[in-house]
Structure formats: C-alpha cells, structure tokens
Structure 1
Amino acid sequence: MNWFPLPLGPLQTNCYILSQKDGSSLIIDPGEEPNKIIQYISSKKLYPKAILLTHAHFDHIGAVDAIREKYGISVYIHKQEEKWLSDPALNGSQLFLPGQQIKAKKADYVITNEKSMEIEGFTFEVFETPGHSPGSISFYFNQEGIVASGDALFQASIGRTDLPGGNHDQLLESIHKKLLVLPEETLVLPGHGPATTIGQEMDSNPFLNGF
C-alpha cells in the first residue's frame, strides 16, 4: 500500500491518500482544497472507495462533500461527532472562521465502537483515541505498519485540548493505551506536520514523559 500526504488549507491539515496497486484508494480527512485532491487522484489514476474521518473539526472536513459527490463514495465518522459535520458551532468553523461556516452532509456510516473493518480490499483497525475531541479515532493498518492518528499524536507534540470537548488527561491516556502499545516501527501519519514513528515519540516526545 502506498500513502501520500496532501497538506491543505490555511492550517495545512494533512489529507492522506492511501492506495493499492490496482488503484483502489482511501481518502483520510479531506479538509480543504478539493481540486488539489482531485488533481492528485487523477494524476495517479486512482479509484477512491471511501472517505475516513479521524474527527470532525472544520479543518478536516471542508472538502468532504465535494469529494464524496465527485466520486460517489461513502463517508465514515465516529458516532460522537456525527452531528458536528453539519454544525459550525460544534466543528469549530463558527469560532475560527468568522463569516465562513463549514457544513457537510450526514455521514453514510457511523462508527460506534472499536472494530476491525474492511473496505474494498483495505483492512484496518479503528481505535477510539478521544481527548483532542470526543469522537477522535485512529486508523491502524496492521499489515502495512501504519496508523493515521488524526490530531491525537504528532511528531514531538500532541493535539490541543483547549477546544470544546477536549480533555488533556483523556488524550494522554488514549495515546499511551492505544498508540504507544503498537510496534515501535509503526509509522504515524498525523493530522498536521511530518510523519513519525511510535518509537521516536516514545523516546523523544516531551509531552509524553512522566505520564
């Protein structure tokens, strides 16, 4: 499986395109600039199969409807944040984007608990990793050794917890109990910034020391 990051919008939120040899692909967090996403997919001759959302803050969902409608694919989100898609007060756009409210249509599939999932040849685990937001989830592709962590874990940092529904202690617990237990060589694809590994964050992330 190949992966490619597309930093999008003013916050440079990472949208990830995961693809198989046959061109089947998943899109994680299409936050902004749908034309940029479409251009990349077209250039690589990919066939999107689904949109996976790590959470529903505005900078992760801004291009959801445009991409869903372009390819006729389904959107997956955790139940805790299904209402955030259509509510600018919940997804943060009302607070951070005066005069521009981000709304998306209802998700096609609502994830209610941790589980193994399979979509068009992609097999992965869903981990509940709340703290940055109540419905934050991470997607772990075991065979490929990759976890898409959303805004839970970054290179040398962790997600902010001062937004509505955030909880610092809960986030640290999520990271330690769900992410740091993965093999140290696991590649972490965060919602912002460069990729890292579980081992690197165990060794050097200053926010995780002393938990």
Structure 2
Amino acid sequence: MARIPLEDNYDDVVNKAQRGLGISDEDLARRAEVSAEDLAALKSGAFNEAVARRVARHLKLHPDSLVQLAKKTWYPAQPVFPAGFAAFNTAYGDMTVNSYLVWDARSRHAAAFDTGADCGEMLEFLRAERLALHYIFLTHTHEDHIADLPRLAGETRAGVWASEREPSGFPGARTFGENTHFHLGALTIKTLFTWGHSPGGTTYYITGLSHSLAIVGDSLFSCSMGGSRSAYAAALDNNFKKILPLPNNTVLACGHGPITTVAQEKKNNPFFAR
C-alpha cells in the first residue's frame, strides 16, 4: 500500500475529544485558561502550541503527542509481511477507506475484512494469487466499509460475518459473539468487541502470520480514534482494555489512514499516550 496520510489532523482530535466529553467551548476555555478567540482559532486549524497544550490536558489528550501531530513530525513505521497479508485503499467520496485480506500460505484459504468502496482490486488479487475466499468479516456496517459487499460476496460466495451487536442485514449473513475463534489453516482469528464508534465495532486479532495482527476498523487510527457522540467513554475504554494490551509488536490495520503498531500508538497517539 502506498503511503496514506494520517486520518486526522490535530484539530480533528481536539474536536473529537471535546464532543465526546460533552464540554462546551465556554467551559473548555475557562478550564484551560485561554480566550474564546484562541480556542476557536485552535479548533479551526490555526495551531498555537501554548493554547494546544493547555487545552489538551482538559481533554485527556497527551500534549506532546498532540503537538507532534500538529507539526507533522511523525509517521508510523510500516511493518512488512512477507506473505499472508494484503491491504487495499479505495476512494469513498472525499476520503479513502481500507480493506484487508489475510490467508494461509499452505491451503491458500483467505479471509477478507470489509470491502471498502470498490473490491475490484481485491478480487484481482485473489485470482492472481489463487486464493479461495472463505470468510468476509465486517469490522462494522458503516457504508464506506461495506459499500461493495454484494459484489464481493456474490463473486466469491464467501460467508459474511458480523458482530451480534451490529448484524449486517445482508442476506445469509451470520453473527458471532465476543471471543469467537475462527481458523484459516494455520491462522487463528479471534473476535474482540471494540464498540463505541459503532454499536458492534469489532477488532479481529489474528495469529499465525509473521506478525500478530489486529484489524481494528474505526476503533483506532494512527494518532487518533473513531469518533462517537453517544458512546465515547465506551470507545476509549474498549481501546484501552482490548487493543492496547495486545503485544507491543502487534500490527494494527486501521479502517482509515496508515497501518501502525500497538507500541507506536502507545507512544504517539494523543488519546492513548501516557
């Protein structure tokens, strides 16, 4: 996958945290001891480091990581899989969305995670590598992630699976509970419920490849996380309890933005760095 920009700018992070915590502009300016004008400028993209550091503390954001994001001085190192993993990035309106394949090298059995806006490249890859798609797993059912589900399911006849908390509604699709295990040759796929951004947001933790891998959907992005107006506390809690405790070298395949690792996000993500 070519280098993909980070999903969020610093002002996106500030706005997500403020909305999630339910803090008004007036209250945030008072707590941070900044003027209403300076806060408005910061939130609209006019970066002021001193203001950002004051505001970050009251939004439970890591100040150094927020400043680093604003200054664009860091980008996650990209892990390389010799085999068994492929990423696809497709345009959906004014943004891009990721989908993924994993497969067992011996059996050539594969699983897809979301479809993105267009599964054409994924289908070509399956044919070129002579892979048999057995599963289509959904991280959640927002349209940008499942836009081409009918085509992918129709052409491959793979089974469609989603969280019992957020059924897909796709004809014939099945649901799973948390901590369900699927097997794909030598690979094991475990479901972790990381809801908050969506009611049934799911992380798939995969072992058996050259790196442990977590396909996290919109639960977490490099330097950010999925937004939520109604379940922000749950989204944060699920990320802290279910994604960040994974081994530090676990690769995080996000729904938007670049691939990263647990260790890199613990150090560089304003929501999670400590």
TM-score by length of 1: 0.82
In structure 2, do the counterparts of structure 1 residues 120 and 20 end up closer, same or farther at CA, with 3 Å as the change threshold? closer
Distance 2:223 2:187 in 1: 29
Q: Which residue of 2 aligns with 1:94?
A: none
Displacement after TM superposition at 1:148 (Å)? 0.4
Q: Which has the higher contact order (CA 8 A, sep 6+)?
A: 2
In structure 2, do the counterparts of structure 1 residues 192 and 107 end up closer, same or farther at CA, with 3 Å as the change threshold? farther
Distance 1:35 1:116 in 2: 28
Distance 2:121 2:192 in 1: 29
Structure whose CA Rg is larger:
2
Identity of aligned residues (%): 25
Higher share in helix: 2
Q: CA RMSD in A?
A: 1.7
- Which letter maps to 1:143? G
Deviations 1:110-130 (A, max 9, x none): 113322222455312110101
Q: Which residue of 2 aligns with 1:21?
A: 105
Higher share in strand: 1
Match of 1:79 among 157, 161, 164: 164
Whether contact under 8 Å (1:54, 1:136) holds in the other structure is: yes
TM-score by length of 2: 0.64
In structure 2, stretches of 5+ residues that fail to align are: 1-82
- What secondary structure sits across from 1:189 in the alignment? strand
Whether contact under 8 Å (2:250, 2:261) holds in the other structure is: yes
Q: How does 1:1-211 map to 2 (within 5 A)?
A: 2-10=84-92, 11-22=95-106, 23-82=108-167, 85-86=168-169, 105-119=170-184, 121-144=186-209, 145-162=212-229, 166-209=230-273
Whether contact under 8 Å (1:49, 1:120) holds in the other structure is: no
Distance 1:136 1:146 in 2: 17
In structure 2, do the counterparts of structure 1 residues 116 and 173 end up closer, same or farther at CA, with 3 Å as the change threshold? same
Whether contact under 8 Å (2:250, 2:262) holds in the other structure is: yes
Distance 1:42 1:207 in 2: 40
Aligned length: 187
Displacement after TM superposition at 1:107 (Å)? 4.8
In structure 2, do the counterparts of structure 1 residues 179 and 107 end up closer, same or farther at CA, with 3 Å as the change threshold? farther
- Which letter maps to 1:113? E
Distance 1:116 1:187 in 2: 19
Larger CA deviation: 182-191 vs 33-42: 33-42
- Which letter maps to 1:116? H
In structure 2, do the counterparts of structure 1 residues 107 and 32 end up closer, same or farther at CA, with 3 Å as the change threshold? farther
Displacement after TM superposition at 1:31 (Å)? 2.3
